[in-house]
Chain A
Amino acid sequence: AQSVTQPDIHITVSEGASLELRCNYSYGATPYLFWYVQSPGQGLQLLLKYFSGDTLVQGIKGFEAEFKRSQSSFNLRKPSVHWSDAAEYFCAVGLNTGFQKLVFGTGTRLLVSP
């Protein structure tokens, strides 16, 4: 069965430090990959997505992610974290079934320390 794993439940990063959030997926074909962010009390917002082509994708708010087929990973990165980045981050796989069906990971909560 398709699954998405985010191994880190919580991560604390100092403001200004770099960030990497891990995401691994299990899926037979090349999936469509997404990262969403959920700020406290808010709905989810799309940060970036990967369908094909260049494996390094740029998103909003200075985030980027790299698709590595050999590792079945799609890790999210940011070179310098801001306090406003504190939120819950979800990796998701879009199953190529002909219509939208996202399978989400369990999320990683990012805490930013001063």
Chain B
Amino acid sequence: DTAVSQTPKYLVTQMGNDKSIKCEQNLGHDTMYWYKQDSKKFLKIMFSYNNKELIINETVPNRFSPKSPDKAHLNLHINSLELGDSAVYFCASSIGRKDTYEQYFGPGTRLTVT
């Protein structure tokens, strides 16, 4: 059984389009995250939700909007896509919001904006 799953795995789209990436975890975790990994493999947190409440919102353009319909799902919607949005986006989850908890990562979504 996949613990943290993301769809789609690959996404190729044109500049200016709007797209969504979905994430689901079946671990019963309370906290979920979105990370962006750029072409140099640098991994940076974007958002974190705990029990559907936004707890981390890093300096991310407001074209990016996370939505958590329930504890098991965290989606990422991106408006007006730009070339610089091309990256691999990882979803992760942890049992709770404490810093000592392990994060479980999904396989990533490779977004290519042309």
A42 contacts across to B, CB distance below 8 A: 107-108
Q: How many A-B pairs with Cβ below 8 Å? A: 68
B83 within 8 A of A: no
Please count how many residues in chain A sit with their CB below 8 Å of the partner chain's CB atoms. 24
Chain A residues contacting B94 (CB-CB under 8 Å) are 100
Task: Give A93 Cβ to nearest chain B Cβ, in Å.
Answer: 10
Interface string of B1-33 (1 = CB under 8 A from A): 000100000000000000000000000000101
- Nearest A residue to B95, CB-CB: A100
B-side interface residues toward A, CB under 8 Å?
Answer: 4, 31, 33, 40-45, 48, 50, 55-56, 90, 92, 94, 97-108
Interface hits, A56-114 → B, CB 8 Å: 88, 90, 94-102, 104, 106-107
**Distance from B30 Cβ to chain A, minimum over Cβ atoms (Å):** 11
Q: Are the C-beta atoms of A90 and B43 separated by less than 8 Å?
A: yes
**CB of A4, distance to nearest CB on chain B (Å):** 10
Q: How far is the CA of A97 from the CA of B98 in the complex (A)?
A: 9
Shortest CB–CB separation between residue A92 and chain B, in angstroms? 8
- B residues less than 8 Å from A90 (CB atoms): 43
Chain B residues with CB under 8 A of A100: 31, 33, 48, 94, 97-99, 101, 103
Q: A32 touching B99 by the CB < 8 A rule?
A: yes
| Other-chain contact of A106, B42, B48, B90, B99 (Cβ < 8 Å) | B42
Residues of A whose CB lies within 8 Å of any CB of B are 32, 36, 41-46, 49, 51, 88, 90, 94-102, 104, 106-107
Mind listing 10 A-B residue pairs with CB under 8 Å?
A42-B108, A43-B105, A44-B92, A88-B41, A90-B43, A95-B99, A98-B97, A99-B56, A101-B56, A102-B103
Residues of A within 8 A of B100 (CB): 32, 49, 51, 94
Chain A nearest CB, measured from B53 CB (Å) = 11
Given A41-B107, A43-B4, A51-B100, A99:B50 Cβ within 8 A:
yes
